[in-house]
Structure 1
């Protein structure tokens, strides 16, 4: 199908969306279910109305903009990503996938073309996880990984507002059943790579065949608060120093056992956090990621043993409570093959790759055939105001995505 896809219109849409929550540094601050996120959603809904899309919002706030096919009884093909950003985020992580999907539907509308199956553009709620934990919580609820009540009760990390309360406050508490999104034929998600591989190796596109297994946990260290000037070192039960040693041990274990994996401490909180006081409490969010489930488990077991030994020696209590995890994700090979074929037709240099970051597509893949497509980003920088892509990368990703989505929507069931 020769569609009038407009890379310029896609770019203009990306820039218009980036003005919502724009920061002086050039990035975006549009956390999930904030006033800025609500404004971004309203703009997407307006664009959808302009081309006749039917908007449905489910009870978790996930937006589904539907374009009917010749046979409305057929299961739809989903394409999308997310509009929320990190507080110090950029213009493209998430919105590129949503707005590339929108451009496909705009081009179909402009051409007066029909697909056999409906195509549904999805904006998932709260992918980033910077307000509501865990990340990808809207997709997790829709796909049945988390139950609806758990998602709605999730507290915001900044002010304690519940997810359900935020939906009501922003006007995005829908009535559709989130489970309806499970009844799809396929899911496509285009995204910036969030790493330096594609750009460094000179590739235009990455065909994402799967994703790393991940476990993130909150580690709570309980010592004893005391006076920094009067408590001898050998008598202290310093929770922060114990936590720092635990973190260092976690990094050492990764390098010794699986250096191709990832180890990150995302947050560190100290109690009471006062001058002149030996910290009696510390909490940190600790995660490992690895492309092999068995290796990930071995890393976690080794870290648990090291953490317990450090706690015993330093006479502190410790508790590691996992709160975000998923096994290695394997995406649908037949959909990946369609992306490869489309890339070849368009002369795009491409390679297969795994994703180290989590995405909404991970949860979709548990319920339906799913795949991801990466375009490069400059310097592999994401979750930062300087995050950037080229117009050429945006265009080739759009054209390849469009081919694969439409081919899937027209394929026999």
Structure 2
């Protein structure tokens, strides 16, 4: 049996949810989405998604880290469920599709099964995980990492934002400090549908990607302490310039990427803050965040080691002290070959051309892969697949194609004995 989702209904929910947290972006002149985790906008979006889940007749529960799950019962409730999911929080300059497609697509799968009067052997669940982006509390994939057991709940609850507010306080404030245990029952399988956030699918001229895994990700915060001094009277050799060292690290990170020495390394300094910056004062403190990505664990280890040595040498040379803080680190996560092959055969059945690809971005799927067979369906984006910007866009047809693949693969898994 082949099922097709209601394309107009899926698109309508995507367009409705994007208005929660919407803002006018001055840089692009476009309408963006700013829905950071556990803010009022996130709370409103959560309530809207829960309402859709309830309207679809699903059983909703919330766990102690704020992850939300909705269940469509199967005939044998003793069997592990088939799980779909993603996230609805965004970066500060987000779009309408990152994460959201996987959640709303999962709800649409449930509606489609109901419309067709289809029963399944196993329960099917759709969920969304807390603070996937890591923008507000500094740790990405937080909710899925807690449920998978990589991050203890107690540690997650104590994480703070820039205003000193903790995850636990904000969960309570918005009413999503649930009672269900954070270590969820192990699923039979997990599939996440997500926009690609890159150019591979659009370059190949296809709407579907079968994801083979997620590359290694390293987040670190580097704080450099020098000495403030007069910009005009302090000789160059006598300076302890924290800003100079920080800027040099930015340049070295790019050189490392261009060198080829560290494989397909991607490095980004996303935050660069000079404390109490003044035009005529040498910076005494600078803080930067360093995001490294690599599809090879050995190359990632070499890149981190090189950067640490470079910072040590340079800071010693300039009389500056360096302090590192690990924000996040995940190795390369390969996805389950059998689930990948099921997605590929499903795309073939639907006559949808596809490519196989690695993910350059992190996803909740990489955490859930520690629990059960896992894979992802990528959907092509427009504008070269650009994401984390109001320019992020996918077409109604591409979103529907990806959700059709999701629906039929999930239906197959849900009837496995």
- TM bracket, shorter-chain basis: over 0.9
SS at match of 1:115: coil
Kindly indicate whether residue 230 of structure 2 is the aligned counterpart of residue 230 of structure 1. Answer: no
Question: In the aligned structure 2, how far is the partner of 1:376 from the partner of 1:199?
Answer: 6
More moved, 108-117 vs 11-20: 108-117
Q: CA deviation at 1:259?
A: 5.1
Equivalent-residue separation in structure 2 for 1:170 and 1:246 (angstroms):
39
SS of 2:95's equivalent in the other structure is coil
Pair 296,83 (structure 1): closer, same or farther in 2 beyond 3 Å:
same
Partner residue in 2 for 1:12: 12
Answer yes or no: is the 8 Å Cα contact 1:60–1:138 preserved in 2: yes
- Out of 240, 248, 251, the residue aligned to residue 248 of structure 1 is 251
Match in the other structure for 2:218: 215
d(CA) in 2 for partners of 1:235, 1:191: 52
What TM-score does the superposition give when structure 1 sets the normalisation length?
Answer: 0.97
**Deviation, structure 1 residue 215:** 1.3
Counterpart of 2:283 in structure 1 is 279
**Structure-2 residue corresponding to 1:369:** 373
Q: Which residue of 2 aligns with 1:126?
A: 131
The separation in 1 between residues aligned to 2:279 and 2:231, in whole angstroms, is: 8
Q: Which residue of 2 aligns with 1:96?
A: 101
Q: In the alignment, what sits opposite 1:179?
A: 183
CA–CA separation in structure 1 for the residues paired with 2:323 and 2:20: 40
Q: Could you tell me how far 1:254 is from its partner in structure 2? A: 2.7
Q: How many residues align?
A: 410
Deviations 1:293-327 (A, max 9, x none): 11111111111111111112112111223220011
Over the residues paired in the alignment, what is the CA RMSD in angstroms? 1.2
Indicate the residue corresponding to 2:342 in structure 1.
338
CA distance in 2, matches of 1:287, 1:5: 37
Query: Secondary structure of the equivalent of 1:83?
Result: coil
Residues 194 and 376 of structure 2 are in contact (CA less than 8 Å); yes or no, is this contact kept in structure 1? yes
Matched residue of 1:278: which SS? coil
Aligned match of 1:192 in 188, 192, 195?
195
Q: Retained in 1: the 8 A contact 2:263–2:296?
A: no
Contact 2:253 2:268 in 1 (8 A): no
Name the residue aligned to 2:57.
52
Q: What do residues 16-59 of structure 1 show as CA deviations (whole Å, max 9, x unaligned)?
A: 11111111231211111111111111111111111210100000
Equivalent pair of 2:84/2:192 in contact (CA under 8 Å) = yes
> Structure 1: how far apart are the matches of 2:263 and 2:4?
46
Deviation (angstroms), 1:250: 2.2
Q: Distance in 1 between matches of 2:230 and 2:144?
A: 47
* Structure 2 CA distance for aligned equivalents of residues 4 and 250 of structure 1: 46
Provide structure 2 residue ranges, at least 5 long, that are not aligned to the other structure.
25-29
Cα deviations by residue, 1:205-263 (Å, 9 ceiling, x for unpaired):
11001111121111111110112222222211010011111221222123221352211
Residue 75 of structure 1, aligned match among 80, 87, 90: 80
Q: Which runs of 5+ in 1 are unaligned?
A: none
Of 48, 59, 62, which residue of structure 2 is paired with 1:43? 48
Q: What residue is the counterpart of 2:111 in the other structure? A: 106
TM-score if structure 2 supplies the norm length?
A: 0.96
**Match of residue 34 from structure 2:** 29
Contact 1:254 1:299 in 2 (8 A): no
1:261 aligns with 2:265: yes
Kept in 2: contact 1:59–1:177 (CA 8 A): yes
Shift of 1:80: 0.8
Q: How does 1:400-411 map to 2 (within 5 A)?
A: 400-411=405-416
What residue in structure 2 maps to residue 348 of structure 1? 352
The whole-number CA distance in structure 2 between the counterparts of 1:195 and 1:229 is 46
Would you say the 8 A contact 2:194–2:379 is kept in 1? yes
